[in-house]
Amino acid sequence: MNQPRQQLLEAAQQGDAQAITELLAVCQPDLKRFARRTCSNAEDAEDAVQIALWALYRKVGALRCVATFATWMFRIVERECFRLFRIKKYHDALDELGEGDMPVAAMVPTDLRLDLVRAMEGLSAPYREVLILRDVHELTAPEVAAQLGLSLEAVKSRLHRARTQVRQQLLNSGYWMKDGAPEIPEQNGGSHVL
């Protein structure tokens, strides 16, 4: 990194608004060139550059080593290009399906939805947020861990406990008994529903 850019970066890390603005302007052409080569189309390249510049604006003060700045910025662009490519590939695959081929979501009865919402509301906040991110927003476990700042093991543990508590709450609510599902006697004298 040349000397003026390094001084600009150091000033931006100290919170100098003018330096941050200049740094954004200085970095943009290099990031655009890299994004055009990395992304699948020009629109995705522009989006990736904007994400990288936004990350720079928000987190420049957290950068520990000035020497890693360029690598950090290019890595953000690269990851964003790949993420946009995956999304585009998924949507293109859905676009190719005919109307009769489209997957149809099963209708969930209203009373089950209500029981499920009550069960999720009854969870403690740490369990509820992991369950919602993983099962409702369909994030992967590593994505949930990154978003919440937890280890992967902690996410898996909380998710397991949350699902167990929700399952138990649904069994206790008697939802399956409304459908006439058979009870199965347990060895300890109780019974549970399929």
Higher confidence at residue 156 or residue 179? 156
Quote the pLDDT of residue 177.
62
Residue 80 has pLDDT above 80, yes or no: yes
Looking at residue 136, what DSSP letter applies? I
Residue with tokens 């662009």: 77
Residue 54 confidence class, pLDDT cut points 50, 70, 90: confident
User: What is the rounded distance in angstroms from the CA atom of residue 162 to the CA atom of residue 131?
Assistant: 6
Residue 71 has pLDDT above 90, yes or no: no
The per-residue pLDDT for range 130-148, each reduced to its tens digit, is: 998 898 888 888 888 888 8
Single-letter code of the amino acid located at 158 = R
Phi, psi of 193 (to 5 degrees): -100, 145
- pTM of the entire structure? 0.44
Structural domains for the chain:
3-96 (1.10.1740.10), 110-178 (1.10.10.10)
Quote the pLDDT of residue 97.
59
CA dist list (Å): 26 to 12, 15, 31, 49, 64: 12, 17, 10, 13, 20
Residue 155 confidence class, pLDDT cut points 50, 70, 90: very high
User: What is the rounded distance in angstroms from the CA atom of residue 40 to the CA atom of residue 81?
Assistant: 7
Residue 176 has pLDDT above 70, yes or no: no
Higher confidence at residue 190 or residue 8? 8
Residue 162 confidence class, pLDDT cut points 50, 70, 90: very high
Ordered alpha helix ranges (H), the chain: 3-13, 17-38, 42-59, 69-96, 110-121, 125-131, 141-148, 152-173, 175-178
User: What is the rounded distance in angstroms from the CA atom of residue 94 to the CA atom of residue 77?
Assistant: 26
Q: Of 33, 43, 31, which Cα lies nearest the Cα of 77?
A: 31
Q: Of 133, 175, 171, which Cα lies nearest the Cα of 154?
A: 133
Q: Which residues contact 97 (CB under 8 A, 6 or more apart)?
A: none
Quote the pLDDT of residue 178.
54
